[in-house]
């Protein structure tokens, strides 16, 4: 992959990550605040706690997995030029 192509790909990945974050936030709102008025109780716990905390976290893990598997592409990272000691 040419360097310009690598950067174009990195830009796409960054944009998708931002969108994915927004989706997670919306899910978190829906699964927590969205269920806050429900009286359903599971395992002694109000449903909004399970949705907003546990399920939202599962959802974030699925999103992270999707990013890692399908969005972020492997590129060959060139090994940086070996420089003499003493910094730059």
Q: Footprint of other proteins on this chain (CB under 8 A)? A: 3-11, 13-14, 16-18, 20-21, 24-25, 28, 32-33, 36, 43-46, 48-49, 52-54, 56-57, 60-61, 63-65, 67-69, 71-75, 77-88
Residues in the chain: 88
Smallest distance, other proteins to C-beta of residue 79, A = 7
Distance set, CA 40 to CA 34, 36, 44, 58, 61 (Å) = 13, 10, 10, 20, 25
- Give the nearest distance from C-beta 1 to other proteins in angstroms: 11
Query: CB of 81: closest distance to other proteins in angstroms?
Result: 6
């Amino acid at each position: 992959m040419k360097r310009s192509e690598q950067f174009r790909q990195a830009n796409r990945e960054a944009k998708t990550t931002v969108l994915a974050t927004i989706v997670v936030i919306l899910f978190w709102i829906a699964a927590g605040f969205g269920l806050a008025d429900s009286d359903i109780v599971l395992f002694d716990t109000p449903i909004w706690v399970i949705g907003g905390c546990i399920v939202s976290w599962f959802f974030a893990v699925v999103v992270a997995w999707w990013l890692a598997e399908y969005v972020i592409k492997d590129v060959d990272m060139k090994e940086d030029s070996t420089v003499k000691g003493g910094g730059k």
